[in-house]
Amino acid sequence: MAEKYWFKTQGKGIVWYPVSFQGWLIILLYFAALVYSFIQIDSASHSVSDTLINFFPRFFILSALLTCITYLKGEQQKKKS
């Protein structure tokens, strides 16, 4: 039985896009987590630079997690011989 991919690649495999319900749910959760993190940090910070400096690590971690999920649950790039 063939595995159903959550994400597929376009072109050379750099761009991933969701093709299933699970893929769209992951993208929605990613953006919701980013917005929630930004609002939470912004409410406790005193300046724009303070907000951005504290938001960047969360953005990096969430983006790395999204990249891992798309790689694990996405279509694998076929190598040409």
In this prediction, residue 1 has a pLDDT band, given cuts at 50, 70 and 90, of very low
Given a cut of 60, is residue 66 above it in pLDDT? yes
- 26 neighbors 69 (Cβ within 8 angstroms): yes
**What is the reported pLDDT for 2?**
56
The pTM is what? 0.82
Summarize pLDDT for 18-54 with one digit per residue, the tens.
Answer: 998 999 999 999 999 999 999 999 898 888 888 889 9
In which region does residue 61 sit, left (phi positive, over 0), alpha (psi from -120 to 50) or beta (all else)? alpha
